[in-house]
Chains A and B, each alone.
Chain A
Amino acid sequence: MPQFIHSRIIIIALATLATLAILAGVFQLGVSVGERKSRHFTRWFENYDRNLMPPGSRRPGPNMPPGGMPMPMLPNAHGVFGKILSVSDNSLIIQGKDNVEQNVIITSSTAIRIDRGVGTIQDLKPETEVSVLGAPNEQGQIQARLIRLFNK
Chain B
Amino acid sequence: METLEQKILAHLPEPKMPADLGNRIMARVERSRLRALYLRLALSSAGCVAGFAYLGAEWRALWSAASQLPIFGFLRLAFSDPDIMFANFQEYFLGLIESTPFGLIALGFGLTFCLICAVEFLSAARRARHAPLIIHPVIS
Check if A79 sits within 8 Å of B95, measured CB to CB: yes
Check if B77 sits within 8 Å of A133, measured CB to CB: yes
Q: Answer yes or no: B51 CB below 8 A from chain A CBs.
A: no
Check if A76 sits within 8 Å of B81, measured CB to CB: no
Check if A78 sits within 8 Å of B81, measured CB to CB: no
Complex alpha-carbon distance, A81 and B97, angstroms: 16
Check if B73 sits within 8 Å of A146, measured CB to CB: no
Within 8 A of B (CB), among A20-43: 29, 33, 36-37
Nearest residue (CB) in A for B94 is A78
| Contact residues in B for A146 (Cβ distance below 8 Å) | 77, 81, 84, 88
Q: Which of B70, B87, B88 contacts A76 (CB 8 A)?
A: B70
Check if B68 sits within 8 Å of A97, measured CB to CB: yes
| Contact residues in B for A81 (Cβ distance below 8 Å) | 70, 73
Complex alpha-carbon distance, A60 and B115, angstroms: 48
Contact with A along B43-77 (1 / 0, CB 8 A): 00000000000000000000000001010011011
| Contact residues in B for A76 (Cβ distance below 8 Å) | 70, 95, 98-99
Check if B84 sits within 8 Å of A131, measured CB to CB: no
| Contact residues in B for A150 (Cβ distance below 8 Å) | 80
Check if B88 sits within 8 Å of A133, measured CB to CB: yes
- Interface size of B by CB at 8 A reads 19
Check if B84 sits within 8 Å of A133, measured CB to CB: yes
Q: Answer yes or no: A148 CB below 8 A from chain B CBs.
A: yes
- Interface size of A by CB at 8 A reads 23
Q: Answer yes or no: B120 CB below 8 A from chain A CBs.
A: no
Question: Which among A29, A37, A81, A135 has the greatest number of chain B C-beta atoms within 10 A?
Answer: A81
Q: Answer yes or no: A83 CB below 8 A from chain B CBs.
A: no
* Other A-B pairs beyond A37-B98, A131-B76, A133-B91, 17, CB < 8 Å: A33-B94, A77-B94, A77-B95, A77-B98, A79-B73, A79-B74, A79-B95, A80-B70, A98-B70, A131-B73, A131-B77, A135-B91, A145-B84, A145-B91, A146-B81, A146-B88, A148-B81
* 11 residue pairs A–B, Cβ–Cβ below 8 Å: A76-B99, A77-B95, A78-B91, A79-B74, A96-B70, A97-B70, A131-B73, A133-B92, A145-B91, A146-B77, A146-B88
Interface residues of B (CB under 8 A from A): 68, 70, 73-74, 76-77, 80-81, 84-85, 87-88, 91-92, 94-95, 97-99
